[in-house]
Amino acid sequence: MAWVSGDGGGPRRIAGLPIWKPPYGRITVIDLNTGDILWWIPNGDTPERISSHRLLQGVDIGNTGQPSHATTIATKTLLIYGEGRSGEPRVHAVNKQTGERVATLDIPAPSNSAPMSYMHNSKQYLVLPIGGGANRHSGSLVALALPGGAPAGDEH
């Protein structure tokens, strides 16, 4: 049981590496009409502590994603997500139909709750609750303007 639950911080690790096969975190898109999985992607990119680990030098492990809870919101054409509390302080935008990454933006601290979106003067904004991380950033909100005018009906 010690290898399964550990001390409340998740499954145990060997030499700092998770004992399960990646991806360590993923975002899965499901067709709610059929229950079919349409696509999935790793949550973010491989953490530095994994990609530069001495035991993995010379091993192509691909993108492992972050072992954190992504904070997501969907617009008419995009799925936008932060990597979550123990992820990197980044927000990613992917094509909602394919999962292909469109953009990545660094933010001051990891996202820690669901993003919000609003329209003002025909411009769409995204607000992310952030906080914590390596720099112990206090709880804050980051507001980002999405590029260009939002297509009609893209306010959700």
Of 3-7, 91-95, 137-141, give the lowest mean pLDDT range: 3-7
Residue 118 tokens read as: 């609003």
State pLDDT tens for residues 37-89: 999 999 999 988 899 999 999 999 999 998 888 999 998 899 999 998 888 89
Cα–Cα dist 24/63, whole Å: 9
Count of domains forming the chain: 1
Please state the rounded mean pLDDT for residues 85-103.
Answer: 92
Residue 120 lies in a domain: yes
State pLDDT tens for residues 110-154: 898 899 999 999 899 999 999 876 667 778 899 999 876 544 445
Specify the higher pLDDT residue, 24 or 148: 24
Compute the CA torsion angle 30, 36, 41, 42 (nearest 10 deg): 90
Long-range contacts of 49-52 (CB under 8 A, 24+ apart): 49/16, 50/17, 50/24
pLDDT of residue 14: 84
Alpha carbon separation from 68 to 25, 97, 101, 124, 147 (Å, rounded): 6, 23, 18, 27, 27
Residue 114 lies in a domain: yes
Residue 32's φ and ψ, nearest 5 degrees, are -70, -15
pLDDT of 18 higher than 70 = yes
The region, left, alpha or beta by phi > 0 then psi within -120 to 50, assigned to residue 64 is: alpha
b/e code 84-103 from CB counts within 10 Å (16+ = b)? bbbbbbbbbbbebeeeeeee
Residue 2 lies in a domain: no
pTM check: above 0.85: no
Residue 64 lies in a domain: yes
What is the CATH number for 55?
A: 2.130.10.10
pLDDT of residue 9: 55
Cα–Cα dist 104/95, whole Å: 12
Name the residue type at position 107: I
Of 23-32, 88-97, 142-151, give the lowest mean pLDDT range: 142-151
Residue 81 lies in a domain: yes
Supply the range of the domain harboring residue 125: 22-145
Residue 132 lies in a domain: yes
Strand partners, 93: 80, 103
pLDDT of residue 11: 63
Residue 11 lies in a domain: no
Specify the higher pLDDT residue, 102 or 18: 102
DSSP count for the chain of H helices, then E strands: 2, 11
